[in-house]
Amino acid sequence: WGMNIVKANAFSNQAGVVVDTFYFTDRFATLELNPSEWQRLQDSIRGVLSGDVDLGRLLHDRFRAGKPKPAKIKVETRLHSNNDCSPHSTVLEVIAQDRPGLLHELTGVVADKGYNIEIALIDTEGEVAIDVLYLTYQGTKLTEEQQNSLIHAMSGELSAAHPG
């Protein structure tokens, strides 16, 4: 598709209702030039949400389609978590080099750990991704050990996915 998420807000409530809003850029003006592609995009989103379409495969195909441009600036990855900012959740702040698939990588690590994302605030400023995730594990804040393990796993995933 060539879409880049530049901002997102995701919230869930106690009833399990999730509301996600994504703001994206359409690098190739695909939807503007081909209005019929809206339906295909909607079908792809529905397929991912239902589990009928593998998001990892879609991203893999996107990476194979073209080599990304080199970054104009180098952004050092910074990960910080704390239990003081929210009464019910652990807050994880991520600052990293923006790139295709970054949000998928971050949320994949959270999911692999079995943690729940209560709120996600996603923003992109140029080539800098600024993501804040409010996390719980079985309804409670993460322990210090869980936070350290998550940051270690996330650092490893981000380094492995895009070394150097």
Q: Could you read off the pLDDT of 121-140 as tens digits, one per residue?
A: 999 999 999 999 999 999 99
Mean pLDDT of 26-36: 89
The domain limits of the chain are 3-26+73-161
| Distance separating alpha carbons of residues 1 and 92, to the nearest angstrom | 29
Instruction: State pTM to two decimals.
Output: 0.83
Mention every residue, 6+ apart, whose C-beta is less than 8 A from residue 67.
Answer: none
Classified by CATH at the fold level, domain 3-26+73-161 comes out as Alpha-Beta Plaits (3.30.70)
For residue 131, what pLDDT is reported?
97
- The β-bridge relationship of strands 116-125 and 128-136 is antiparallel
Q: Looking at the predicted structure, is the pLDDT value of residue 96 above 70? A: yes
For residue 68, what pLDDT is reported?
63
* Of 15-24, 58-67, 77-86, the least confident: 58-67
**Length of the chain, in residues:** 164
Listing DSSP states for 70-101 in one string gives: PPSS----EEEEESSS-SSSEEEEEEEE--TT
